[in-house]
Chain A
Amino acid sequence: DARVTQTPRHKVTEMGQEVTMRCQPILGHNTVFWYRQTMMQGLELLAYFRNRAPLDDSGMPKDRFSAEMPDATLATLKIQPSEPRDSAVYFCASGLPAASTDTQYFGPGTRLTVL
């Protein structure tokens, strides 16, 4: 049963520290998405990649957030420096685009708390 994996599942850090979240997409999926979920804003798309190239990162604060795909099996989302308002659950999802019917498969999320 193929799944998207994310590490760490929980992260508590102090303001100003660097945070790196990792995602392993389902093998063979060529599209990767990063979402952030908060009570106030709901689910927000931060960035997405196709074939490891960033297609859209307009949802991401550029000054502190960065997203990369060093290879086809790893996507990273980095926050530097972190701030309390970054506290949220960060989800990675992967998929195979096919016309208009592609399905995104979500990982379990990383719950980030910035003190």
Chain B
Amino acid sequence: GDSVTQMEGPVTLSEEAFLTINCTYTATGYPSLFWYVQYPGEGLQLLLKATKADDKGSNKGFEATYRKETTSFHLEKGSVQVSDSAVYFCALRNQGGKLIFGQGTELSVKP
């Protein structure tokens, strides 16, 4: 079945460090791919998305590129801030219209 695998957390970084959170997927066809972010005590918010191969989604300094050849959608940011501390979820939208989420990766950024 369709699935998403993310790197395990927690990830702890110092402010201004480079961030990569790995995400790979298994799916039938060509799903849309998403990154959602969940701040403490809140619901998930869409961070960025990509709908086809080689598309790059970007928002708030975060980027992810849809790589069909490696079935990946890694999240990157060049310089993280304390305010980026949250849980990040990679997801795909399958042919049935459902969002399939990864297990989430907790990011903690220290000053």
B93 within 8 A of A: yes
Q: Bound state CA distance, A109 and B31, in angstroms? A: 26
Residues of chain A touching chain B, judged by Cβ–Cβ distance below 8 Å, are 4, 33, 42-43, 45, 48, 55-56, 91, 93, 97, 100-109
Task: Compute how far the CA of A4 lies from the CA of B42 in the bound complex, rounded to whole angstroms.
Answer: 12
CB distance from A54 to the nearest CB of B (A): 13
Determine whether the beta carbon of A103 is less than 8 Å from that of B89: no
Residue of A with least CB distance to B36: A106
Q: How far is the CB of B24 from chain A (nearest CB, A)?
A: 16
* Min C-beta distance of B33 to chain A, whole Å: 10
CB <8 Å contact, B43 and A103: no
Name the contact of B43 in the complex, choosing from A56, A91, A101, A102 (C-beta under 8 A): A91
* Chain B residues, CB < 8 A from A102: 93, 97
Residue pair A101, B99 in contact (C-beta under 8 Å): no
Which B residues lie within 8 Å of A48 (CB)? Answer: 98
**Which 8 pairs show the lowest CB-CB distances between chains A and B?**
A106-B43, A106-B44, A43-B101, A42-B103, A100-B32, A108-B43, A101-B51, A103-B46
Out of B43, B49, B93, which one reaches A107, CB within 8 Å? B43
